Amino acid sequence: MTGLDAVRAWRREHAPEVLAGFADLLALDNVTGDVPALRRNAAEIVARLRARGVEAAAVGPDGVAPLVIGRIPGRPGAPRLGVYVHYDGQPVTPADWATPPFRPTLVGPDGAEVPFPAAGGAVEDGGRLHARAAADDKAPVVALLAALDAVAAAGAEREVELVLCLEGEEESGSTHLGELMAAHADRLAAEAWLICDGPVQQGNAPQVVLGVRGFTDLELTVYGPARELHSGHYGNWAPNPALELARLLASMKDGAGRVTIDGFTADTRPPSATEQAILDAMPPVEAGLLDRLRLAAAEVPGSRLLDRLMLPSLNVRGLRAADVGPAARKVIPARATASIDIRLAAGDDPARMLERVRQHVRDQGFLVLDREPTAEERRSGPVARINARVGYPAARAPVNLPVVGHLLDLASRAAGEPAITLPTLGGSVPLHHFGEVLGAPTVILPIANPDNNQHAADENLRLGNLWYGVDLFALLLTTPWRP
Ligand SMILES: [Zn+2]
């Protein structure tokens, strides 16, 4: 029997107790920001790690959800990899859930609730465990604990040392992650960090993703008359700020959907030949997406989604000027505001990007301020108020990073089908901390099913994906690797 066969035999036999342990962990409410609740979660995870002989501690100042740091030693001289998971979850609206978010519920492949299996009972891979954080992101914690048990039961040697960083405030912006990492950097040294979060590919194929986009955002307000005016008495005479804003926004993109802000992609690192080859080899999804989303064409007609994710994006995420619908009044609005987010690609700098937007607005003839304009300033010419939040940069590890091929091999073996690699996710996670604070590259290694209802009601983990995670961590621990 090979090592993987032994792990699989162990987890089949012990599935009921793994699920019971998972349910107990999910029954601990973990809404992000609820520090006392998150401390209970951290204490439970520390206890479970220590029960398996893993050095573990919850660290951090009072009033902050702690970072759980752990070390799973390997044989002497084993290379060291980091595993990042977060144990906090998104807020819940229980009324929207079919079953209470913190009463973990097992559901069969047909969607009907089933009892948790008794010892020796079997569970179908297509079944799902429903609870907040079942997928995002307690699943990797439970998979890793089960893998430790399975590896110990098989008597296999640990060929890799793992250092663990389990965060408790990912869902509220990782405010303290950088400083907590810096304070404990000596314990967090690793060849590379595996970010175990997010879903695998659509269709449930395993994937290893090399990066994320960065993020920054701003609010842009332009001004009309000092107060809303009667549109009959003043219409055609007083300038309308909604129209001014529309013109200003329209000046930021051309008719073909390309951003026209000067220098917008000047710092963007273009895909390497290998990255482009990976993108080109991915099966096209665009026709199906346009159909499902009822879209006539992509913003840049004919473009491929994955290619567009390699570039920074400029997105108007909201607009406001007076009111619409039943609340609409016959007025010329006094101001108009757009809320804009910018996803940053590798190479882009958040502060520089915001300055390019400000400069573009200046170039359109506006006085740009970061506060309300005075009466004199409004009288002097077009004024725009821009309030920006400097976000964080993208992270993108090179495809030829030694650990990538290793992880693709392990993920393929664990899943029984070839793992896919992608240069970046479209979304944003502050992975730059790992590079800036720890000097280590990051690779995203998800286990959850893509239809897990992450952040929404009825979040769930498909059990087959939990077992994939157990097999994957067991292989990670027991497969020899040289950086
Ligand atoms: Zn997550």
Tokens of 68: 């759980």
Count of beta carbons in the 10 Å neighbourhood of residue 359:
14
Collapsed DSSP state (helix, strand, coil) of residue 143: helix
Q: Which residue stretches of the chain have pLDDT < 50?
A: none
Rounded distance, CA 349 to CA 391, Å? 9
Work out the angle between the directed axes of helices 15-26 and 139-154 (0-180°, nearest 10).
Answer: 150
State the distance from the centre of ligand 1 to the C-alpha of 289, rounded, in angstroms: 24
* CA angle at 408 for the pair 403 and 414, rounded to the nearest 5°: 125
Q: Contact at 8 Å (CB) between 315 and 249?
A: no
378 C-alpha to ligand 1 centroid (Å): 45
Q: What is the rounded distance in angstroms from the CA atom of residue 195 to the CA atom of residue 217? A: 25
Q: 198: CA distance to ligand 1 center in Å?
A: 6
Segment 120-178, tens digit of pLDDT: 888 899 999 999 999 999 999 999 999 999 999 999 999 999 999 999 999 988 999 99
State the virtual CA torsion across 59, 82, 142, 14 in degrees, nearest 10.
Answer: -130
Please list, residue by residue across 153-192, b when 16 or more beta carbons sit within 10 angstroms of its beta carbon and e when fewer do. ebebebbbbbbbbbbbbbbeebebbbebbebbeebbebbb
Q: Say how many Å lie between the CA of residue 122 and the centre of ligand 1.
A: 29
DSSP-assigned beta bridge partners for residue 280: none
Report which residue type is found at 442: T
- Ligand 1 geometric centre to CA of 196 (Å): 8
pLDDT at 483: 87
Structure tokens, 6: 């032994």
How many CB atoms neighbour CB 293 within 10 A?
A: 7
Pairwise CA distance, residues 468 & 24, whole Å = 21
Cα 197 to middle of ligand 1, angstroms: 5
Alpha carbons 46 and 55: distance in angstroms, whole number: 9
Residue 364 Cα, ligand 1 centroid: separation in angstroms? 40
Is cis: bond before 186, omega within 30 of 0? no
Q: Are 86 and 168 in contact (CB under 8 A)?
A: yes
Residue in 180, 103, 52 with CA at minimum distance from that of residue 473: 52
- For residue 303, give the 3-state DSSP assignment: coil
In whole angstroms, give the CA distance from residue 448 to residue 461.
6
Residue 136 alpha carbon to ligand 1 centre in Å: 5
Q: b/e for 307-337, b at 16 or more Cβ within 10 A? A: eebbbbbbeeeeebbbeeeeeeeebbbebbb
- Give me ligand 1 centre to Cα 181, in Å: 18
User: Alpha helix (H) ranges present in 14-54?
Assistant: 15-26, 35-51
Helix (H, G, I), strand (E, B) or coil at 462: strand
Element (H, E) at 141: helix 139-154
Q: How many angstroms does the Cα of residue 212 sit away from the middle of ligand 1?
A: 13
Measure 467 CA to ligand 1 centroid, in angstroms: 19
26 CA to centre of ligand 1 in angstroms: 15
Spatial separation of the C-alpha atoms in residues 456 and 341, rounded to whole Å = 22
CA of 218 to the centre of ligand 1 (A): 24
Size of the chain in residues: 483
* Residue keyed to tokens 């609740």: 37
171 Cα to the center of ligand 1, angstroms: 7
Residue 58 Cα to ligand 1 midpoint, Å, equals 19
Q: State in Å: Cα 338 to ligand 1 middle.
A: 28
Structure-token pair, residue 455? 């952040």
pTM above 0.85, yes or no: yes
pLDDT at residue 377, rounded to an integer: 98
Could you write out the DSSP letters of every residue in 396-409? E--TT-HHHHHHHH
Provide the β-strand partners of residue 442: 193
Q: Give CA torsion, residues 421, 424, 430, 431, to 10 deg.
A: 40
Ligand 1 ion local residues (Cβ < 5 A): 136-137, 197
Cα(399) to centroid of ligand 1, in Å? 23
| Predicted local confidence at residue 248, as pLDDT | 98
- Distance from Cα 446 to the centre of ligand 1, integer Å: 10
Say how many Å lie between the CA of residue 117 and the centre of ligand 1: 28
Question: What's the confidence (pLDDT) of residue 70?
Answer: 98
What pLDDT score was predicted for residue 120?
A: 82
| CA 319 to ligand 1 center in whole angstroms | 29
Distance from Cα 87 to the centre of ligand 1, integer Å: 8
Q: Given this model, what pLDDT does residue 134 score?
A: 97
Token duo for residue 186: 């000596």
